[in-house]
Amino acid sequence: MVLKLPGATVLLCLIDVLHAFAIEEKGDVFKGMACPAFLMFDNVAYLADMTFELPCNCKPEEVSSVVWYFQKNMGSHKTTVLTDFSGTLVVDSGHIHAGSDVLKRFSIRMFSLIVFRAQVTDSGHYLCGTKKGDFFYGYDVDVQPTEHITVAFVDRGQHIQDDYTGKLFGLFTTFWDWTRCDRCGVRGEQRRIGLCYIHSARLHPRYRAALPNITSCGSNAVPIRFQRHRRIRRPEVAIRSCLTPCLKEEVPEEGVQAISNVISKLGEKPWLPRVPTQFHKQPIGIDLIIACPGARPEHAVAWDKDSVRLYRSRYLIGVNKSMRVFIDHGSHLHIQRVKVNDAGTYFCWREGKMVAGFRLSVVYHRRRRRKLNDPEMMYAVKTIGMSYIVISIIFIVIHVCRCCWRVFRCPARI
């Protein structure tokens, strides 16, 4: 009973106070920024597979919840509602994969829209408003593809693309800053993302960017006649090695250190890093995607399996066409068709510090009854049906040909 646990009651009250304080502080931000009289769209660009957040930067004080809308093209009659009408929808990112619909890959938290593992089809207009259709703030999101991305390993002497200059527009690459070294105390890597941008005086004035007459190549501000030329420019990623020392951690007390030394010596396994570890059982043969907790697109993220460093120079997607274990450009770790030897502990580094562990156990899944709505069952039914139709057509054609051959072969009766 709650009445018998005054400590729990105090803790719950403290959580309510902190939540109210967070909402009040968020409200102060809205008070300091007035909504524009004419709806504009802020241009933002990301790579596919990245997870990003779109804050609703302004709203009237009397509005207590917001609704997010998605519109592919401006003026389109097809508009998707991305939230429940209370503006409080939160999803579990662990159930998200690349093929998921956009309605399954987003979350609403403190008036902000979070899109998980964005895809090129997610490019378009995102509007923050109310369920009545009043819009306060808008974004022009450009998710650029990674299928033919240009990767330059600086240590190997590789270079980036040259700029393109035309009569009415120019194409160039805008690079993000180099990330921090993704590991400390050992050799790490730095990453620098470059996105395609266009410079032209004929961009749509309703779209805002950091610099005038400049926007990302996939923006809706680009005139239609220019859009076919943007395919000649691809996003880029530059990677180089780095080495940085670890921050000095607090030294435990002498007694605690002695006990930990004894425990570590008794164990046969090496001493594992002291990070929060999640345990997961994965059926053999099933694909798995692991995300680093709290990682943002601009963060430096690295992965290790036990004591093996999974460097991007070897495990980045596209480096080897036959890769089964790889890291995508959103810093997610992919393990395709999980095998028994994939079992182990995977460690995640974020901004040069190891932050989480993921202990994977591989199990043999039991056979279950197939249902008609299972994708594999539907595929099997379609394959068998098409095969039957093709065989039937071939059978009929053969018999028709035989009949025709007999008719023409036999002499006509008088």
Residue in 327, 332, 318, 325 with CA at minimum distance from that of residue 149:
318
Check residue 33 and give its pLDDT. Answer: 58
The Cβ of residue 72 has, within 10 Å, a number of other Cβ atoms equal to: 14
Q: Distance between alpha carbon 165 and the CA centroid of its chain, in Å?
A: 32
Could you list the pLDDT tens digit for every one of the 414 residues in the chain?
333 333 333 333 433 433 443 444 444 444 545 676 678 899 999 998 888 889 988 877 777 778 888 888 876 677 888 765 444 443 333 443 444 444 567 777 777 888 888 889 889 999 888 877 788 889 999 999 888 888 889 988 887 778 888 888 888 989 999 999 999 999 999 999 999 999 988 898 889 888 889 999 989 888 887 777 667 788 889 999 999 998 876 444 444 344 444 434 444 455 567 888 989 999 988 899 998 988 888 899 999 999 899 999 999 988 877 889 999 988 999 999 899 999 999 999 999 999 999 999 998 866 555 566 556 677 778 888 889 999 999 999 998 888 888 887 765 554
CA separation for the pair 190, 353 (Å, rounded)? 14
Check residue 123 and give its pLDDT. Answer: 92
- In degrees, rounded to 5, the angle at the alpha carbon of residue 182 between the alpha carbons of residues 301 and 187 is 135
Map residue 256 onto helix, strand or coil: helix
> For residue 172, what are the β-bridge partners?
197
Q: How far lies 65's CA from each of 15, 59, 84, 86, 369, in Å? A: 20, 9, 10, 6, 44
Check residue 382 and give its pLDDT. Answer: 84
Map residue 39 onto helix, strand or coil: coil
Pairing of strands 277-283, 353-363: parallel
Check residue 7 and give its pLDDT. Answer: 39
Q: Do residues 301 and 349 make contact, with C-beta atoms less than 8 angstroms apart? A: yes
Check residue 240 and give its pLDDT. Answer: 93
For every residue of 160-212, DSSP letters joined together read: -PPPEE-SS-EEEEEEPPPPPPS-SSSEEEEEEEEEEEEE-TTS-TTEE-SST
Residue in 35, 56, 27 with CA at minimum distance from that of residue 114:
56
Q: Do residues 71 and 79 make contact, with C-beta atoms less than 8 angstroms apart? A: yes
Give the phi and the psi of residue 31 in degrees, each rounded to 5.
-65, -30
CA separation for the pair 121, 266 (Å, rounded)? 54
CA separation for the pair 346, 361 (Å, rounded)? 11
| Tokens encoding 341 | 């030897």
Check residue 389 and give its pLDDT. Answer: 92
Query: What is the DSSP-derived secondary structure letter of residue 320?
Result: S
Q: How far lies 98's CA from each of 104, 114, 289, 293, 307, in Å? A: 10, 15, 9, 18, 29
Model's pTM, two decimal places? 0.64
